[in-house]
Structure 1
């Protein structure tokens, strides 16, 4: 690359490592193909890598496009990194796996990846795996022929066929029935679809982007998400931060939305009082951007003034804020951890009603472990929920739990060594 900087590099590997894919794209790889792949996908990658005689949209993609062109609002540092990542991965044909809490804008992100890709002129077809009954989802994705089942009164093109030449977006992918995941995996491996009732499969050329508000690794560990499908889809991960981690973005989004909704509803609102601004900055926003939009819409519909004041905030919104604050303050309290669910070896017998006196004399690592274990227990054994309370990523907790397990195994191995 240093000798011939214009060389287009296509990385082909059977190693589905996420880090390898990200490193390859950052190092300048034009495409990342995961074996096995079909010849149509390979030919498409080569054609996309061919030098163009005229400048294309690809040159500026490695920089951060303006957030407004992507559908996002916000200039925080964490979102600037997201914009850069979108610009980078959009240039590839690799599958993108978007994670993030509900209401963080995963579909907006998927649409932006499509819009800044070479497939922008093709269709963007979203399909919500959690909103369609499992017995109908196969037909929605792959289509069906007339008479294939009761109620099939005509042929129907599935989302995969409609998205040909463009992007197929699977929202809430972890909600897909495990049996249908097998068929989806075959589709990803062969790029062929077979509508319900059809005798022969047919080829389609689509790019796959998927999203979930769950922890996909945990779902795989629990047996709810196929491991082979996870590694097929989780090539380039992209995590959207919750609103409370986006610094001043909450005020930027609120002001932009206030002006927009006021215009729609013929209201005079132009700004927020200092008290409301402080309240918005300190609120945890468990529903993220979607919750903020609902609050602004409620204010604009029910009131009319130039400035939003505290008394205009919805009553249930302020009540939920007090409840969330109380829950966070008491989350690490007095419930013993269910080791039989977590299978985390403990260094001491579980105790109840721990307080600060019980922590005196313990190391920082021991205190951290106590807080983590009891926060998980107080959230019914859910590691993602505990991570949200502790304001860390679920992967951080999984890593710590794994370390504690390995440490306990090493201690047991040392105890079994013969003494001289």
Structure 2
């Protein structure tokens, strides 16, 4: 995928000139005229490089730069400065800008600067990819690096650049709409509308009007013409949530629209064509709906080109804590509270709760705590019902945490390497010789693996518990375990 360069410049004539300078360069060049448009673009589709004008009609370039660095957005920033403001540009470089260009920007200077910064950004990105290949903690609105979510991220990466229909399934609160938005904003349609319709929340009589629109007088109450979602999403993406709850008659009309790309508004006689991508979702099992004749088989195979199964939160391991910390930080900042962290015993309880409401429930739990309390850490007594009365199934959880350094079931270390000769050392104070048992000397990597595997066995396969006992990051254990498994498979 081509790298992206964003120009934030309120002068349209200058933007046209700069676009002409780089029209043959091997990257995508985008332009916005205001600070708010720049923020929206950066959030939805982060560019690798931003050329930022200092004077904008709504927000100063300095404020945008500060926002970029506060949000830790991994992008290079070049300040575009007029003559007489170079001192300001130099100050901004000290505040996090990467370079500055003096207006009017010359073609060669612009192209060279962009080329150099993109090359540097790409190199940093390669290093980051190597380090974080198995630990993507934030991705297009998602939070979490668990293996089930990494599988979802890879499917999104693969399907987003195409026009293939996507059918997302999963329990309520697992992030199906976030998934649909991620596909949209990583596609070529990212700068076009994303329109979402909840098929389960719209009355049967209004569904056709909501999707296809209507003309004045089409039915009682239709006092004006109204565009439907199919027209509002033209050029972009139409997301149909809870598709299995749509009535069969409407499913038939939707199928024809998907096959032809054409529709007729209610009360109209002329067909209208539109160019949209369809993404559907359901919290039901579509195969059960097919068997029960509540979902058309032909529509199912039309929309189920690329299926994505969103994992429930209880299957996402350490993502639970990452998401909890994210919401804690967000809500504490919003409400000016002192919360900064979660106590370890609370983390264990959060990690082993079943979360029937998934991410939405976790978000509400953290919101409740932040609103009602004002400590620095989330404590057990802060937890509301039903999680407050939930009993963890971990064996002796508190004792395990207190005595993490004394895991008794660890297997004894055995010598698997070559026998080394017995060594002696001289004790200067007594001039006596001390024997060293070299049979216990082994490569540190072997010892580390044995300790980790014993801890996982002790926790009955629960990597999260093992990480707590070993006082390691769970993502580190997942990564090491995956490397070992891959090595064994290659053998």
Deviating beyond 4 angstroms after TM superposition, the runs of 4 or more aligned structure 1 residues are 63-67
Aligned match for 1:185, one of 250, 255, 259: 255
Give yes or no for the alignment of 1:107 onto 2:162: no
Distance 1:156 1:67, change over 3 A: farther
Q: Deviations over 1:218-271 (max 9, x none)?
A: 101110000000000011001110011111000000001101001111110011
> What residue number does 2:276 align with?
206
Equivalent residues of 2:380, 2:388 under 8 A apart:
no
Secondary structure at the counterpart of residue 143 of structure 2: coil
1:14-57: CA deviation from partner (whole Å, max 9, x where unpaired) = xxxxxxxxxxxxxxxxxxxxxxxxxxxxxxxxxxxxxx973459
- The aligned runs of 1:4-153 (5 Å cut-off) are 54-55=26-27, 68-153=138-223
Matching of residues 175-254 of structure 1 within 5 Å: 175-254=245-324
Cα distance change on mapping 1:211 and 1:317 into 2, 3 Å: same
Cα offset for 1:317?
Answer: 3.2
1:38-87 deviation digits (Å, cap 9, x = unpaired)? xxxxxxxxxxxxxx973459xx9xx9895534100001122112111111
Distance in structure 1 (CA, Å) of the matches to 2:304 and 2:136: 26
The correspondence for 2:235, drawn from 133, 140, 165, is 165
CA contact (8 A) 1:114 1:120 kept: yes
Q: Which structure 1 segments of 5+ residues have no match?
A: 1-51, 326-420
CA distance in 2 between partners of 1:317 and 1:138 (Å): 42
Structure 1 165/284 Cα, relative in aligned 2: closer, same or farther at 3 Å? same
Whether the 8 Å contact between 1:172 and 1:212 is mirrored in structure 2 is yes
Alignment-derived partner of residue 308 in structure 1: 378
Corresponding residue number in structure 1 for 2:37? none
Secondary structure of 1:126's aligned partner: strand
1:299 to 353, 369, 373: 369
Measure, in 1, the Cα distance between the counterparts of 2:183 and 2:27: 20
Where does residue 62 of structure 2 map in the other structure? Answer: none
Shift of 1:146: 0.4
Q: Distance in 1 between matches of 2:239 and 2:197?
A: 6
- Do residues 262 (structure 1) and 262 (structure 2) align? no
Quote the Cα distance in structure 2 between the aligned partners of 1:225 and 1:184. 12
Q: Secondary structure at the match of 1:149?
A: coil
Output the CA distance in 1 between the equivalents of 2:146 and 2:295. Answer: 33
Contact 1:174-1:212 at 8 Å conserved across structures? yes
The 1:87/1:149 distance shift into structure 2, 3 A limit, reads: same
Cα offsets for 1:324-344 (capped at 9, x unmatched)? 98xxxxxxxxxxxxxxxxxxx
Secondary structure (helix, strand or coil) at the match of 1:315 reads coil
Match of 2:187, SS? coil
Relative distance call for 1:193 and 1:66 in structure 2 (3 A) is farther
Conserved? CA contact 2:136–2:145, under 8 Å: no
Q: Is the 8 A contact 2:138 2:145 kept in 1?
A: no
Q: Is the 8 A contact 1:244 1:288 kept in 2?
A: yes
Contact 2:215–2:268 (CA<8 Å) still a contact in 1? yes
**Does the C-alpha gap of structure 1 residues 278 and 237 become closer, same or farther in structure 2, counting only changes over 3 Å?**
same
Distance 1:191 1:177 in 2: 20
Please tell me whether the aligned partners of residues 67 and 83 of structure 1 are also in contact (alpha carbons under 8 angstroms): no
State how far apart, in whole Å, the 1-side matches of 2:25 and 2:345 are: 56
> Separation in 2 of the partners of 1:202 and 1:69?
36
Local SS of the residue matching 1:85: helix
Residue 357 (structure 2) aligns with: 287
Deviation per CA, 1:294-323: give whole Å up to 9, x if none: 10000000111001111100033334x46x
Q: Distance in 2 between matches of 1:258 and 1:79?
A: 21
TM-score normalised by L of structure 1: 0.61
Q: 2: distance between equivalents of 1:315 and 1:249?
A: 21
Q: Determine the C-alpha separation between the residues in 1 that align with 2:281 and 2:262.
A: 22
* Inter-partner Cα distance in structure 2 for 1:90 and 1:316: 38
Residues 209, 273 of structure 1: alpha-carbon distance in 2 compared, 3 angstrom cutoff: same
Q: Please identify the structure whose Cα radius of gyration is greater.
A: 2
Give 5+ residue unaligned stretches, structure 2: 1-23, 29-44, 46-121, 123-128, 394-491
- Which structure has the higher relative contact order (CA within 8 Å, separation 6+)? 1
